[in-house]
């Protein structure tokens, strides 16, 4: 069977697993483990604390360091309240396009790597290839965070990674981080006629938001020189503020959902330290003058590192040679790439399909994109073969 036909068949199988982030991905992981194990891979499954989610690492080639990671996330976003032309979990082909939830984001890349695995298994590779499947990327890169913690403990660590998010096979060398928080305010309820006797959680939440907006303006002045991002600075925004029960009741509880998309770790630290100091030194003392039980607690929903462009990037050089690309871009959307970069690996994002189709009804990937991805992977196999 031709590689593209095998890829298409595997993709159909993967789409049939409804691996929405809220649900288990274990059936997909078991399917991948069986196929990759049959291709000669050394398969390791890392389950989470619930036992309902898992990452997979399938390694081919020598058991040495300096390996190449090919990574994709197994989870997909929900389909509820979307108007699909056909069953989103049954792949449909029409005019050179393959439709289904996850076709481009990002089971197409996973299918291509799995189709290539038997070929890689037959080669005498100069360095190992690690095919990695992760869980819960769509809700904070939870699986990848656990995976890189484990990889950090390996004696023989990989040295570069290709993250196969849909980029239309363009090379992406940078993206901002994505950090999401919920800050909860506990005040003291009371009658609206005596506001001085209560601790108005909504009012303190508003003051907190005001400080966040001040920090947002400061971030504009911290934009790196010649930043290629759009906008060039780290962004901060408030997505939700909730609290209160009635006009005449002093609200005792409020919460804020907010996010930061930093261009650098330094900006991340700057915002988090500044807003924590404001809550600790300004807001809490005033709240606790009235109620010792008043509190402000920030919950980390997800902290995903950005991918910072670097001058010396082996992954960029290799993928450029394989694809013929003359340059590399940066993008607005986030990926797991920064987590691998923090391990000291050189990393790029490059995969089949368009991000414009991701998360939408009637999501699709062009078969020509899968073919282009297979061309890259075959080139990589040839580059790593000792017989070349």
Please check whether residue 259 is in contact with residue 236, taking contact to mean a CB–CB distance below 8 angstroms: yes
| Region label for 96, one of left (φ > 0), alpha (ψ between -120 and 50) or beta (otherwise) | left
Please check whether residue 15 is in contact with residue 91, taking contact to mean a CB–CB distance below 8 angstroms: yes
- List the catalytic residue out of 6, 105, 136, 137: 137
Tally of CA atoms within 13 A in the half-sphere of 306 that contains its CB = 26
**Cβ neighbourhood burial of 327 (10 Å; 0-12, 13-18, 19+):** exposed
Closest CA to 29 of 5, 7, 4, 57: 57
DSSP 89: T
Query: Measured between alpha carbons, how far is 55 from 135 in angstroms, rounded to an integer?
Result: 6
- List the catalytic residue out of 75, 267, 308, 363: 75
137 is catalytic: yes
75 is catalytic: yes
Residue 261 token pair:
């998309």
Closest CA to 184 of 243, 236, 235: 243
What are the catalytic residues?
Answer: 75, 137
């Amino acid at each position: 069977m031709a590689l593209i036909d095998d890829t298409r068949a595997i993709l159909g199988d993967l789409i049939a697993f409804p691996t929405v982030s809220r649900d288990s991905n274990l059936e997909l992981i078991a399917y991948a483990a069986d196929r990759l194990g049959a291709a000669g891979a050394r398969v390791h499954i890392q389950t989470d604390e619930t036992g309902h989610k898992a990452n997979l690492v399938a390694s081919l080639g020598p058991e040495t360091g300096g390996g190449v990671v090919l990574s994709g996330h197994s989870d997909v976003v929900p389909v509820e309240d979307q108007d699909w032309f056909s069953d989103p979990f049954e792949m449909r082909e029409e005019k050179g396009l393959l439709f289904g939830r996850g076709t481009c984001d990002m089971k197409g890349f996973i299918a291509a790597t799995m189709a290539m695995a038997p070929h890689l298994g037959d080669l005498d590779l100069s360095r190992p290839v690690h095919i990695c499947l992760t869980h819960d990327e769509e809700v904070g890169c939870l699986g990848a965070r656990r995976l890189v913690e484990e990889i950090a403990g390996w004696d023989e660590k990989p040295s570069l990674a290709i993250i196969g998010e849909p980029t239309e096979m363009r090379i992406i060398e940078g993206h901002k981080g994505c950090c999401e928080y919920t800050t909860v305010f506990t005040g003291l309820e009371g009658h609206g006629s005596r506001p001085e006797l209560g601790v108005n959680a909504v009012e303190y939440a508003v003051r907190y938001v005001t400080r966040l907006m001040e920090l947002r303006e400061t971030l504009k002045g911290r934009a790196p020189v010649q930043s290629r991002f759009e906008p060039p600075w780290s962004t901060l925004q408030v997505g939700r503020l909730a609290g209160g029960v009635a006009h005449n009741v002093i609200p005792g509880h409020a919460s804020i959902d907010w996010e930061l998309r930093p261009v650098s770790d330094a900006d991340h630290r700057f915002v988090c330290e500044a807003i924590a100091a404001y809550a600790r030194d300004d807001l809490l003392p005033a709240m606790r003058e009235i109620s010792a039980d008043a509190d402000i607690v920030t919950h980390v929903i997800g902290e995903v590192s950005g991918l910072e462009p670097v001058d010396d990037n082996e992954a960029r050089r290799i993928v450029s040679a394989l694809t013929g690309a003359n340059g590399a871009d940066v993008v607005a959307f986030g990926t797991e790439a920064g987590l691998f970069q923090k391990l000291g690996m050189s990393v790029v994002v490059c995969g089949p399909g368009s991000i414009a189709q991701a998360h939408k009804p009637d999501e699709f990937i062009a078969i020509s994109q899968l073919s282009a991805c297979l061309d890259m992977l075959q080139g990589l196999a040839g580059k790593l073969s000792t017989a070349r």
